[in-house]
Amino acid sequence: MDIYKNKVEKLEAEIRRLKSRNKFFVSAEIISFLAAAAFIVAVCAQSIGSIGLIIAFLLLAIYAFIRRIDSKNSETAEHYGNLRMVYEKEIAYHDGDFSHFDAGERYADPSHEFSFDMDIFGKESLYNRINRTITTGGSDFLAGELSDCRVRRLDDIRRRREAVNELAGRLELRADFLSFGQKETIDTEKINRALEQAKTISIPRFAGSSLALATAILVILGFYVSLILAIIGIAGANLPIWWGVIQFFVIFMAVSRPIKEITKVVGCVHAQLKSYIRLIETIAASGLEAEENKSIIAMLSSDESDALLSFKELKDIIDGLDRRANILGLFVFNILFLSDFFLVRRFLKWQDKYMPVIDRWIEAVNRFDAITSMATFRYNEPEATDAELVESDSLIYHAEGIYHPFLGKKAVANDFDIDDGNYYIVTGANMAGKSTFLRSIGINYILASNGMPVFARKLSASLFSLFSSMRTTDDLSHGISYFNAELLRLRQLAEYCRKNKHTLIILDEILKGTNSLDKLNGSRLFLQFISSLPVTGIIAIHDLELSQMEKENPDRFHNYCFEIELSEDVRYSYKITKGVARNQNATFLLKKFLSI
């Protein structure tokens, strides 16, 4: 918090300084432009000689120079403002306010193997806390990683963890990267569509020929020769003016159609594309050394295709389109440099050289965007630790001091071991901590398998599949009752376990939608069936009769509980211990409520 607040204070001081400079630049621009216009009018009225033309062009040059400095000053002030927003959002994060970050509700899927039960998506979810993505492609990539059901390779997880940890130590790099998407999330798909359309823009091939280039150079030289002749008195002062006017209209008519098409395609993502270019520049110049980070940089810059060079060229083209929006700029730059012709020529060459590899570059930016979010989460949670993941033919899960990441300092940590092929029946009163503990087991494994830190003093685990059933919902619009939805979920679980070796299942109350005796018999039948598969499980229950399965098969079924104390009030320890819960609180609390 101190680091973030200090950054905000320094940025605010810089922004005030830059804004005060901006007032001076605006005044200087107005004065130089009006003075240049006055000299041009005087030359045209022949009230002043050729020297007036020289002064006018010098004043225009001064105007252009001041405008450029002013533009850079404004860009810097805007960038600092965006950086301030990055740090302010992190201050809000530490205050428990996640509303500034995308919650990813669109990714929530009740039928997913675990993401719905583990609160991966939605308001105040894991995604909501981790996500800092500034591109829609990065958002999709991060959501895909957090909900990926594949058993990953250890080497891939190690590389991801190294990449996350390295980037976590580069606060200013991350803030700089994130600053380019603070005003508006960059729509990756929109950019991708625009670039795909750019492939189809038909530009006369003559524009890229040597003959066209030679003609353009001769035309520019002709203007400057006429200007020199007018200055030294050999020709009249009107010669360069008429040459410039005719030159402007000829070039404007010649390239107006391709310029219109380029503007139509690139213009729809104009502001976003400029931000995207800044992302490319930031990644390419990051100097990161972790293997996955280096591979992303390599994807963006190789001998065959350099994304940084490509997008810098595209940025120049976009800047050229920007200047066309200024009538004075359009007129002056076409007269002095034939800017529209060279704009079309540059786009044609860019189109031929770089379009085939755009998709690969977009994938690299998406991945870096997601890793930046993971790294920010790593930086923000220094008390979290790196998990120890091991290669094993059996399921291993050894946790010391594990707790749910959403609880923070108020969390009660627990030790717990899960052995391959074993089942852990967890009993306890309502609100005693059963469901939170089950989610702690699952969500920390999801973090570990993504190379992110876990909330435990120590966590050692092998790689396995995960399936949960904790939050089944009915669907009345499709005629699916709660009980039917439970059956469908259990069938999905059974089918998943048949296909996936070494699966950890996490269940919270099997068959809640039926009567007690039927629920008990059905739950027992299901556990007997599932134990015949290569599955390990943790099951929270209220039916204490199911704890008898430990007596029937003590090698595979084990009883654990969250006990409570009943006195004048209910005391919750939130500590898991061996055995079966003795105390329940529903009747106790109801009696207390009814007596008020």
Residues 476 and 439 sit within 8 Å (Cβ to Cβ)? no
- Structure confidence at residue 477 (pLDDT): 44
CA atoms 319, 265, 284, 368: torsion sign: positive
Joined tokens for residue 260: 């219109």
Joined tokens for residue 173: 């790099």
- Contacts of residue 32, defined as CB under 8 A and 6 or more positions apart, other chains included, come to 59, 60, 62, 63, 66
Q: Which neighbouring-strand residues pair with 561?
A: 427, 577
The residue assigned the tokens 């250890």 is: 154
Q: How many CB atoms lie within 10 A of CB 385?
A: 16
Distance set, CA 389 to CA 326, 402, 445, 451, 463 (Å)? 59, 15, 10, 10, 7
Task: Count how many Cα atoms sit within 13 Å of the Cα of residue 282 in the half-sphere of its side chain.
Answer: 22
Architecture of domain 388-595: 3-Layer(aba) Sandwich (3.40)
Q: Which DSSP string do the residues of 119-164 spell out, in sequence order?
A: T-SSTTSHHHHH----BHHHHHHHHHHHT--S---HHHHHHHHHHH
pLDDT digit string (tens) for the chain, length 596 residues? 999 999 999 999 999 898 888 878 888 888 888 888 888 788 777 667 678 778 888 888 888 888 888 888 888 999 999 999 999 999 999 999 999 999 999 999 999 999 999 999 999 999 999 999 999 999 999 999 999 978 889 999 999 999 999 999 999 999 999 999 998 899 999 888 888 887 778 777 777 777 888 888 888 898 888 888 887 878 877 888 888 888 888 888 888 888 888 887 777 777 788 788 889 989 989 999 999 999 999 988 865 568 878 877 877 787 777 777 667 767 777 788 788 888 888 888 888 788 778 888 999 999 999 999 999 999 999 999 999 999 998 999 999 999 999 998 889 999 999 999 999 999 987 788 899 999 999 999 999 999 999 999 999 999 999 999 987 654 544 445 667 778 888 899 989 998 888 899 999 888 765 556 777 777 888 888 888 888 999 999 877 788 889 998 999 999 999 987 776 677 888 999 999 888 765 555 555 556 65
- Alpha-carbon distance 52 to 470, whole Å? 83
- Alpha-carbon distance 411 to 440, whole Å? 11
Q: Nearest CA to 177 among 259, 70, 286, 74? A: 286
- Alpha-carbon distance 493 to 504, whole Å? 11
Residues 537 and 546 sit within 8 Å (Cβ to Cβ)? no
- Structure confidence at residue 482 (pLDDT): 62
CA atoms 496, 500, 506, 511: torsion sign: positive
- Alpha-carbon distance 243 to 220, whole Å? 10
SS3 content of the chain, % helix, strand, coil (to 5): 60, 10, 25
Q: Which helix (H) or strand (E) holds 576?
A: strand 570-578
- Structure confidence at residue 587 (pLDDT): 55
Q: How does 132-169 read in b/e, with b if 16+ C-beta sit within 10 Å?
A: bbbbbbbbbbbbebbbeeeeeeeeebebbbbbbbbbbe
Secondary structure (3-state) at 183: coil
